[in-house]
Structure 1
Amino acid sequence: MTLIKYNPRFTGADDRTFSSFIDKFFNDSLRNVQSELTSFNPQADIAETKKEFEIELAVPGMKKQDFKIDIENDRLTISGERKQIEKTDDKNYHSVETYYGNFSKSFYLPENIKEDKIEASYQDGILKIVIPKDEKKELVKTIQIK
């Protein structure tokens, strides 16, 4: 026996025709494309060394003044907006695969960091945030059994 994922859109006998399948396919595809073009969620890489944490966001085509980086309640928030290039009448776009719009990404910070020493740089479309560790604060604690 094969399990089939439940899809509430295919409920009646009329929905099982080839024509209705094609209609649903194109309508759903267009709806997904429209929502993707209005949202931008940059990819993040997070790494850790003995001395620091590093967060890198892939955000090509932006300028460093397009970003805002905040720390509040042990949470680092990176936000910004990737603005759409102004379209002109002499260009006829056949395909637009680039994402535009506002974004906000948050990361919870551990207790063993030096908050006042966090640095950010932007080069070649990569926003890099370096969060140094505080060796004096250890996260590993041993609990004595009584």
Structure 2
Amino acid sequence: MIMKTKKTEDMNLVRRNSDWFVPSTMDKFFDRFFNESFDNVATTFNPRTDIAETEKAFEIEVAVPGFDKKDFNIDLNDGLLTISGERKFEKKQSEKNFYSIQTEYGTFKKSFQLPDNIQSDKIEATYENGILSLIIPKDETKKLASKISVK
């Protein structure tokens, strides 16, 4: 199976303005660090993905905790399987002062070139316990390998 994935940028949580590290007081430094550094929460991220092959199917698992089923978009076009989704950062928790956010927010997009021996109409996708799972059954009638004799 040939796999193609789209690289995304790493999260950048700290604002990098030129005057950022020149605070007039230490209180102002900590206030700016803890209150303003989360304004730039990344807009893309790259979730962990496991890909396996069994005798009867290909299996893809994407670790995306905190999503809803409606947050995903899965397309198959000319053998290219594309999985994308979005999780928005909610700042409604005014009673909390965040000191660290390691949860990934924003959008992701992963693409995989599938082989010709799949049953595209039988692909199943489920989302449970933060894992998006896709089962891509193989078509037993289509063999990708064959023996070629030399004449």
- TM-score bin (small chain): 0.7 to 0.9
Report what 2:72 is aligned to.
67
Residues of 2 paired with 1:96 and 1:50: CA distance? 41
**Offset from partner CA, 1:77-102 (integer Å, 9 cap, x none):** 00110111334322111111111111
Q: Percent identity?
A: 56
Residues of 1 paired with 2:150 and 2:78: CA distance? 32
Supply the AA of the counterpart residue of 1:98: T
Structure 1 residues 35, 94: CA separation in 2 closer, same or farther (over 3 Å shift)? closer
Supply the AA of the counterpart residue of 1:52: A
Residues of 1 paired with 2:92 and 2:99: CA distance? 12
| 8 A Cα contact 1:37 1:98, kept in partner | no
* Higher Rg of the two aligned structures: 1
Report what 2:111 is aligned to.
106
Q: Which moved more, 1:131-140 or 1:34-43?
A: 34-43
| 8 A Cα contact 1:121 1:127, kept in partner | yes
Among 111, 135, 144, the residue aligned to 2:140: 135
Would you tell me which structure has more helix in proportion to its own residues?
Answer: 1
Supply the AA of the counterpart residue of 1:81: E
1:50 equivalenced with 2:55 (yes/no): yes
Give SS of 1:37's match. coil
1:40 equivalenced with 2:48 (yes/no): no
Residues of 1 paired with 2:135 and 2:106: CA distance? 25
Relative to the length of structure 1, the TM-score reads 0.72
Aligned residues: 115
The CA deviation at 1:35 is: 7.5
Residues of 1 paired with 2:56 and 2:40: CA distance? 40
User: Deviation above 4 Å: which 4+ runs of structure 1?
Assistant: 33-36
Residues of 2 paired with 1:35 and 1:132: CA distance? 41
Gap runs ≥5 in structure 1: 1-22, 24-32
Superposed CA RMSD in Å reads 1.9
**Offset from partner CA, 1:78-134 (integer Å, 9 cap, x none):** 011011133432211111111111110000101111111000000000000000011
Structure 1 residues 46, 34: CA separation in 2 closer, same or farther (over 3 Å shift)? farther
The CA deviation at 1:40 is: 1.4
